[in-house]
Amino acid sequence: MSVQPSPTPFAKHSVRLFVAQSSSTNGDGSPRPFQWAAPGGAVTLCDLGASQLRGLIDRREISPVELVDDCIARIERDNPSLNAIVATSFERARHEARLAEEASTRSAPEGLLHGLPVAIKDLTETAGLRTTFGSPRFRDHVPEQDENVVAAIRAHGGIVLGKTNTPEFGIGGNTNNRVYGPTRNPFAPDLTCGGSSGGSAVAVATGMVPLATGTDSGGSLRNPASFCGVVGFRPTPGLIASERRPQGWSPMGVHGPMARSVGDVGLLLQAMAGYASCDPISYADACRFDRLDPVRLEDLTVGLSVDLGFAPVAAKVADLFRRKVGRMAPLFRECIEAQLPMKTAERVSWILRCVYLLAGHAERLAGYPDELEPRLRDNLRAAQQLGASDIAWALAEQTRIYRAFEQAMRRFSILVCPAAAVPPFPVDCEYPSVIDGVLLNHYARWMAITYGITLVGHPSLVIPCGVDEAGLPFGIQLVARPHQDHLLLSVGQALERALARDPLLARPVPRSESRP
């Protein structure tokens, strides 16, 4: 990728089109920027990675105004068929881009995200920009101030282009709601993009934005990343502070970043992370997540698990996971089967999920139950049937599982497992109710492969790992011990670069002709 030097201060529209590259890696083995298959084999600024764009802005080879305009053009072109971006802030974004350009002409940019467009999941409040939480009750809700995580992104120079779609209150693994409708998979629009951070995953995958935020309680960053071929990261709870999590001591719900590469995820994470006294589990981490360490994969012992010892996983997914792991196994010193203490994890997860949701939505259930999405309403009523002994048992058992899981993780550097139990399913299906002929006992059961990791509070990174037999993205989930987020991202980046050299394991790219 070459860019011509620009005259001072910017070469307006001189970096409009980039020739699509035939190889998936640079000379050093690192993955090349995302390549959108645009007509004529060309890509525009919005197809480049956030870190590369940041460097171009720093060197004044491109203008933030050009970049924002390119992203807006991509949204206007592709969003009508995919429905990823559901509220926009284009006028403000263009104004902030002009300010960023002016600042760049006066001195070297300082903000980590200076001039970079970012999309915010519609569960996170944004000042002056509609935030519905996917609920008809909040259809016209416009917050007066940003949530802390959005304020931090703006303080680092990020430019908020809009909000991304989510199921109502983030409940469910298919991004669909009664305010905006469904978000579609960019590889197959008749299929789901996953959820609940599905809008963010699609916006990133298609180049509408280089960076997006998400949230994750049971897999909401991770299964959309897997279904859409992007990178999603659930950090150790408390690394990104939250002032709105209703059950402040719970490790269940977290904010997290999405991007098209691990390095770009680290860049956004660095802007999002930080201590805040309003969050009782918040902590400060001295690591710089935008500066990952080199890792020798051949020095690593990797634990493998198809199902975490309790999660239902479709046989074809399990078989494909084993084949892909077998192909990448020579990269590591050793791969060993992980023995994980998760036999009671399903019952524990369901009880704690019920408690978590009831803490956040009890007033809504009491005030307007008939207005709630039925799946959420039924879950809340199930929570009301729990007794104190059920909850006490679940809390104690969670602690026991955590301690045994953390002990098991000491045998290897990272754990690798599938990121989703099934391939992407039809967009008009709420959730898979059956896997391989076995009826699932509740709507979230198919996401056990991700909420099992939520239960123990370990950081988890999903990276693309080629495609399945239908040509749809396939993701793998990398898990590290608590507070090893920097190590996990560093390992993930090294593995990402190695996989990019293998056509069968490299990150897939959605093509425009896949749209209706």
Q: What is the DSSP string of 32-62?
A: PPP--B-GGGEE-GGGS-HHHHHHHHHTTSS
Whether the per-residue pLDDT at 516 is higher than 60: the answer is no
Ranges 105-109, 261-265, 462-466: which has the least confidence: 105-109
pLDDT of res. 110: 77
Residue 104, pLDDT score: 84
C-alpha dihedral over 91, 97, 102, 104, to 10 degrees? 170
**Percentage with pLDDT > 90 across the chain:** 89
- Report the CATH number of the 18-30+39-514 domain: 3.90.1300.10
Q: How, if at all, do strands 117-121 and 159-164 pair?
A: parallel
Predicted pLDDT at 36: 31
Please determine, for residue 346, whether its predicted confidence score (pLDDT) is greater than 60: yes
Reply yes or no on whether the pLDDT at 374 is more than 90: yes
294 has a pLDDT exceeding 80: yes
Tell me what the mean pLDDT of segment 386-408 comes to: 98
Q: Which residue has the higher pLDDT, 417 or 14?
A: 417
Query: 331 phi and psi, to 5 degrees?
Result: -70, -25
Confidence class of residue 1 from pLDDT cuts 50, 70 and 90?
A: very low
- Output the six-digit token pair for 152: 């931090």
Q: What is the mean pLDDT of residues 177-186?
A: 98
CA distances from 65 to 69, 115, 210, 414 (A): 6, 8, 15, 41
DSSP letters along 301-315, please?
EEEE-SSTTT----H
Coil, strand or helix at 414: strand
Quick check: 279 and 242 in contact, CB under 8 A? yes
pLDDT at 45 over 50: yes
Return the pLDDT at 466.
98
Q: What pLDDT is stored for residue 107 in this prediction?
A: 76
137 has pLDDT over 90: yes
Over residues 267-278, the mean pLDDT reads 97
pLDDT band for position 42 (cuts 50, 70, 90): low
Q: What is the pLDDT of residue 43?
A: 62
Mean pLDDT of the chain: 91
Query: What pLDDT was estimated at residue 373?
Result: 93
Per-residue confidence (pLDDT) for residue 512, from 0 to 100: 67
Alpha-carbon distance of 109 to 102, in angstroms, equals 10
C-alpha closest to that of 258 among 228, 292, 236 = 228
pLDDT of 132 above 50:
yes
d(CA 259, CA 232): 7
